[in-house]
Amino acid sequence: MRIDVKQITDGEESICIRYKERSPVIDRILGILNSEENRIWGKSDDGSVGIGLSEILYLESVDDRVFVYTPDKVVRIDGTLNSFMTETADETFFRCSKSIVINVNRVRLLKSLSSNRIDATMDGGEHIIISRRYASGFRRFLKGDR
C-alpha cells in the first residue's frame, strides 16, 4: 500500500482513500476517520466490527489469538496484547497477567486475595485475577504512579 501525505498552506483539508477491494485495514482506517472515539476493528461471526475503547471490558490472549470482550460481544482482533498496548497508548488499560489486559474504567470491585493477588470484578460481572507479578504495579497505577 502506498501512502501519499502532502501538507497544504490553505484551502480545505481532505483525505482520499483508493482501494481495489474493501479489507479489514481499509475498514479500520475508515473507522478512525469516521469516529470521534478511538476504535479498534476486529472480526466476529457478523464480519468486521468496530469497538470503541471505552466499551472494552478486557482483552485476552488465547492460543496466539487476541479476543476483545465487551458486555455484549466477543471479537477477535489482529496482533498481540503488546501491540494493542503500544498502538492505543491509552492509560485506562492495564496488563494484569501474561494473557489479560483490563480496562480499569470498567472495574466495579477490587478484592485482595492470598499470595498478593487481586480479584477485579468487571462491569459485566466477570472476575479477572491480577497475578502477583502485576499486582504491585496495579496498586501503583491506582495511586497515580504511572
Question: Please, what is the Cα angle at 117 between 130 and 55, to 5 degrees?
Answer: 25
Q: Domains in the chain, ordered, with CATH? A: 24-143 (2.40.50.1020)
User: Which positions ≥6 away from 138 have C-beta within 8 Å?
Assistant: 94, 96, 118, 130
Per-residue pLDDT of the chain (146 residues; tens, 9 = 90+): 777 888 889 888 888 888 898 887 777 777 667 654 577 888 988 888 888 888 999 999 999 999 999 998 899 999 999 999 988 877 889 999 999 999 999 999 999 998 999 999 999 899 999 999 999 999 998 887 76
CA–CA separation, 29 and 48 (whole Å): 12
How far is Cα of residue 55 from the mean position of the Cα atoms in its chain? 9
pLDDT value at residue 146: 60
* Per-residue model confidence (pLDDT) at position 24: 75
pTM of the prediction?
0.72
Q: Can you tell me whether residue 130 is helix, strand or coil?
A: strand
> Is 105 within 8 Å of 95 (Cβ atoms)?
no
Cα 45 to Cα 3: distance, rounded to the nearest angstrom: 31
Which among 63, 126, 52, 51 is positioned nearest to 96, based on CA atoms?
126
